[in-house]
């Protein structure tokens, strides 16, 4: 399934630029900043070395894509900095080789569009690992304020598919790196996530790696841990689960709307974190003050 085709129009940076403002420029490496919306967190060092060796022998065949800085009007004036949109691995390899400049296509884009393009570029990659894919889906949710159901519809996937991907983000950075480096599968990861306690999950991860467990063995091992934990702990009182979060959202929206009608510049922000929801209400101390931009 091509996630990109169902979410946003394809980013076609591989074609030769036809617009004169999109010609290829040589830009100093030191003037290119990473994109804060980059969902890819793990970069294989061996893969970067192989790419660096290829670039050393053949050069950079596909230009990087960067965002034109607002402070620099002339594309040939390198007094400002550029924000990277696509090509972080090429940039890392170029830095490894000590290259002073890299070929770039400079595009006009605000921060929202820049984030959108960075996410698209990653979703297009076939080698995106499970955590990077989860981060990209999470970034799409944050960028457009979508619910899991809405994202699932756009991806032509089930809501459970999206939820399972987002749950992977419960692993911390160290655990993610270990899982990728040890080449554990997504089914390994999902089995380990059944352990709610972070310390127990870390211990189980170490045991799975040390014993070289396959998926079935991992699932059985986690099941034994959960059964043992259940016998040791007294049963907890179950609380009712309200499945339709929109009831709460509507209540919050009505309260904020009342404040706005009273002249208070209140605002609300909702975020779907996968296994929980986060609602932030910002109310300025001064009644007439508008909320800070970008907050």
Which residues fall within 8 angstroms of residue 291, CB to CB, at 6 or more apart?
A: 265, 266, 267, 282, 284
Residue (of 46, 24, 11) closest to 125 by Cα position: 11
Helix (H, G, I), strand (E, B) or coil at 133: helix
- Contact (Cβ atoms closer than 8 angstroms) between residue 175 and residue 184: no
For residue 227, indicate whether it is catalytic: no
Measured distance CA(189)–CA(179) in Å, rounded: 8
Tokens of 189: 């990861």
Which residues fall within 8 angstroms of residue 51, CB to CB, at 6 or more apart?
A: 89, 90, 93
Q: Given 22, 88, 116, 121, which residue is catalytic?
A: 88
Measured distance CA(198)–CA(191) in Å, rounded: 14
What is the DSSP pairing of strand 64-67 with strand 267-272? Answer: unpaired
Catalytic (active-site) positions: 88
């Amino acid at each position: 399934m091509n996630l990109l085709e169902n979410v946003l129009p394809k980013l076609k940076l591989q074609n030769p630029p036809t617009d004169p403002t999109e010609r290829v420029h040589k830009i100093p490496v030191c003037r290119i900043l990473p994109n804060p919306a980059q969902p890819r967190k793990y970069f294989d060092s061996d893969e970067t070395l192989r790419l660096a060796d290829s670039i050393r022998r053949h050069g950079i065949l596909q230009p990087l894509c960067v965002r034109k800085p607002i402070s620099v009007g002339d594309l040939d004036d390198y007094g400002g900095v550029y924000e990277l949109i696509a090509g972080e691995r090429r940039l890392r390899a170029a830095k490894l080789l000590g290259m002073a400049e890299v070929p770039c296509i400079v595009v006009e884009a605000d921060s929202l569009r820049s984030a959108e393009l960075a996410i698209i570029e990653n979703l297009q990659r076939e080698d995106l690992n499970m955590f990077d894919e989860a981060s990209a889906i999470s970034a799409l949710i944050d960028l457009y304020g979508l619910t899991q159901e809405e994202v699932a519809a756009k991806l032509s996937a089930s809501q459970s598919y999206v939820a399972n991907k987002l749950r992977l983000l419960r692993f911390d950075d160290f655990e993610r790196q270990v899982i990728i480096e040890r080449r554990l599968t997504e089914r390994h990861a999902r089995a380990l996530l059944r352990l709610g306690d972070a310390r127990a999950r870390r211990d189980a991860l170490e045991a799975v790696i040390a014993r070289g467990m396959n998926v079935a063995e991992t699932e059985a091992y986690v099941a034994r841990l959960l059964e043992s934990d259940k016998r040791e702990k007294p049963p907890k009182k179950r609380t009712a689960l309200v499945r339709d979060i929109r009831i709460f959202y509507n209540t919050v929206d009505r309260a904020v709307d009342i404040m706005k009608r009273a002249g208070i510049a209140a605002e609300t922000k909702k975020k779907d974190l996968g296994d929980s929801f986060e609602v932030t209400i910002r109310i300025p101390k001064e009644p007439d003050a508008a909320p800070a931009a970008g907050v």
